Amino acid sequence: MAAWPIFKPLALSSRNLINIDRHVHFIGIGGVGMSGLALILLDRGFSVSGSDQQKKANLQKLISKGARIFFSQTAENIESIRTLTNGRKPLVVLSSAIDPNNPELIATKQAQIEIWHRSDLLAALIQEQEAIVVAGTHGKTTTSTIITTMLALAQKDPTAVIGGLVPHYNSNAHSGSAALLVAEADESDGTLVKFHPSIGLITNLELDHIDFYKNLEHMIQTFQIFCNQSKLIIANYDCPILQRYFNPDAWWSIKMSEKVDFAAIPVSIDGSQTIANFFEKGNYVGKISIPLPGLHNLSNTTAAIAACRIHGISFRELQNHIKRIKCPGRRFDYRGTWKGRHIVDDYAHHPTEIRETLSMARLMINSKKTDLPSCPDRLVVVFQPHRYTRTKKFMNAFSKSFSDADCVLLAPVYPAGEKYIEGANSVALSRQIKNINPDLEVLVAQNLNDLIKLTKEKTFKDDLILLMGAGDINCLWQKLNDQTNSFDPKLVA
């Protein structure tokens, strides 16, 4: 069996490393990336505050750890923070989601307070320790979750900043005791070029986020910068774009064991697990049993094994830990059963992600093997398109991605702050889907209440209802159950 080295941390930069005596304020602290960074700072002893316009459940944890939370984004928040810190100027952190006209941001600039983008804070954490950073168009959250879980089970206790809930920690972030960080790199705004990890991993690459990227070439160039700044790169040989434009230090594949450094060739796959033969540098090293269905999850797991092997974990140890991995939150996330219908929540919002997730769900139905309470008979997809730009650009690709469904219910487009684009709507998408799949039942809801009505009318006992999208489609589960928001505003100091 090949011996893989343990890579040492990169030399630290003296630029912008955070002083623990400095107060840090997050504008939009409830976002999954922002809240994760805030949790790590709180666990490391920092004074933290933040604002968010929605009373999100993850804010309760921040409050319990001592964060001051504002449920508005006004200029007064900045003055309040300066009063709390005896007039000292805090460090203000924001994400790309914050509008330039946000009153709190304007007040920050007027007070001449230093502003960091979320990626600057993550880059500072990456600079301080050995880091495994996962990038790519699809599978980042799952891959980084599996890496984190296996390292934790191997008693490495890594710090983790993930774009979803990691089941092992029941959190999207963890401040570990070891000198190791696992992070998910968001490519949507190009900020992954700020990262200089010890190990960079690219799951795959295809055009997305066209609100930022001019074209595929622009996206490739951005990822190439990330590669050049990583001490070592691991990449997916099965991705044609990566194979053509990149030259990593190590390849992985689930299609072939030759010409690659790591390979997992499937032997058996059904709706509850995948069994594969694992190879290193073309040599068979043993079988792995993954409690996740779907070839995309096999690829994600193979990538995670590769990263852990390069970090220095033995294959035999990983072989045992793999049996305990789970998908992160909102990745084929079983929410419960409603009137005999199994409700699953999934973040998929790109045609490739939809196609792979539906293929996995269909495998459960066809193989009659599933980890759901019972095997479903039909697959009903409730999809909320995300962004007008994405809907318009990939209209044809979206229409081809629903072939494995028995029924499709479309919600209105979740704009994510974008202005309406003519023809980039769910009615147009429904027509395209019907053109390709004339026998597929496709219905369009006018609003959330209409979507609830359609879901109740068009689904039956033993259906698998798959809620898909990157917006707020997951709230449908609560609405079906008449659940109310359990967040208690009295917790706010």
- Which amino acids are annotated catalytic? 140-141, 184
Q: Which two tokens stand for residue 93?
A: 């952190």
CB–CB of 116/180 below 8 Å? no
The pairing of strands 232-236 and 199-202 is parallel
- Kindly report the CA angle at 80 between 78 and 81, in degrees rounded to 5? 65
Q: Where are the alpha helices (DSSP H) in 377-471?
A: 388-393, 395-400, 426-436, 448-458
Q: How far apart are CA 341 and CA 407, in angstroms?
A: 14
Q: How far apart are CA 461 and CA 144, in angstroms?
A: 35
Taking CA atoms, 372 is separated from 272, 361, 365, 378, in Å, by: 9, 11, 11, 13
- Of 174, 169, 144, which Cα lies nearest the Cα of 42? 174
DSSP for 365-382 reads HHHT--SSSS--SEEEEE
Could you identify the residue written with the tokens 């229409």? Answer: 399
Q: Which two tokens stand for residue 433?
A: 């889907």
- Kindly report the CA angle at 398 between 392 and 400, in degrees rounded to 5? 135
Could you identify the residue written with the tokens 């160039």? Answer: 221
Gyration radius of the chain over CA positions:
23
DSSP class of residue 215 equals S
Q: How far apart are CA 382 and CA 410, in angstroms?
A: 6
Taking CA atoms, 151 is separated from 108, 307, 461, in Å, by: 39, 10, 40
- Of 395, 378, 382, 354, which Cα lies nearest the Cα of 453? 382
CB–CB of 175/160 below 8 Å? no
Q: How far apart are CA 311 and CA 297, in angstroms?
A: 21
Q: How far apart are CA 257 and CA 251, in angstroms?
A: 10
CB–CB of 160/173 below 8 Å? yes
